[in-house]
Amino acid sequence: MTANGDSETGRDANRPAAYWVQAAFVRLGVLPFLLVIAMIVFTLMSDHFLTGRNMLNVLRQSTYLMLVAMGQMFALLTGGFDLSVGTVLALTSVVGATAMAGAYAAMPDAAGLAILIGVLAGIAAGTAIGAVNGIGVAVFNVSPFMMSLGMASVGFGIALYMTGGVPVYGMPMQFGDTFGFGSLLGVPTPILVTAILVVILYMVTNWTRLGRYFYAVGGNIKAARLSGIDTKLTLFLAYVLCAAMAAVSGILLTARLDTGEANIGATMPLESIAACVIAGVSLRGGVGRLESVVLGALFIGLVQNGMNLARIESYLQTVVIGSLLILAVVVDQLRLRYMARLQD
């Protein structure tokens, strides 16, 4: 037994580096390689990139996308996707800011209550978009593409109608000071809120029946239905969770901007799907890990930060993000083919 173990160890030691690279690629996907490449490239392009202050800034700026991407993952797991997450951010921001400003004007001595009213109103408005998406997809079998695209237009129109395109002001200063720029024990509030939600969603995904149902429905909805899973409820909850996470992101972003904006979140659908796909979440459903999605969102934040430090124009940055999405899909398909060959 020892001899066999020694011989196996010897064979492992004699294997070329290319073998280990292929093994890591098959097991981990393309994301770790992209992270390493991004760190090296942007460190060479800017002396300010790989500093503790900038890394903390990247993490804080990435929290908004992390929240949306984690929600997007649930829609992708069930074999769909949500193109209305950007509108959810905008509607949450506008409704939350309007309700908060109105409550604060009526109760100037109760800033905490005004903040609570605004936060609840904003999250409820954003989550309502997800509920409508869920009903359309689960009950009426509308294509997720058409349903979420239609709701993106409806929600954006409502946000513009409420504001006339003008930012909403009048929120308590404590809101921005606490949720936008505040910190607890040296940890910025957005990072703390995101970390708590990451833990909760990790437990939901990996330790509950609902989490397993998401994977089952995305893997084979007919088999899931025959096994007794309420597929309609599972689909509905996937889109509600997706919108709820985007709504939380909208509240935190509103606190950061200190205004209610109807034009925020325009790039979130592309970036959230890109973060998930780069992280190995399958567009066909049933495959994906929450921790990888968090790293995928962090990667997008790293790339954007690095391009800003390198003074790359914002228009070209959208080209880079779109190209990374295409590259991730292509490389993931190559990975699946390679895995199939290994199994044969």
Tell me if the pTM is above 0.85. yes
CA triple 174-176-182, angle to 5 deg: 85
**Please, what is the average pLDDT of the chain?**
90
Give the whole-angstrom CA distance, residue 50 versus residue 43: 6
pLDDT at 335: 75
Q: How far is CA 264 from the centre of its chain?
A: 15
Distances (CA, A) of 308 to 12, 91, 276: 43, 28, 22
- Over the stretch 135-150, which tens digit does the pLDDT of each residue have? 999 999 999 999 999 9
Residues 106-116, mean pLDDT to the nearest whole number:
95
CA triple 69-71-73, angle to 5 deg: 70
Give the whole-angstrom CA distance, residue 264 versus residue 261: 6
- Over the stretch 294-334, which tens digit does the pLDDT of each residue have? 999 999 999 999 999 988 887 888 888 888 888 877 877 77
Domains and CATH numbers, the chain: 30-343 (1.10.3470)
Question: Above 80 in pLDDT, residue 10?
Answer: no
Give the whole-angstrom CA distance, residue 78 versus residue 286: 6
Task: At 16, list the tokens.
Answer: 């070329």
pLDDT at 175: 96
Question: Above 60 in pLDDT, residue 2?
Answer: no
pLDDT at 28: 65
Of all residues in the chain, what percent carry a pLDDT higher than 70? 91
pLDDT at 315: 80
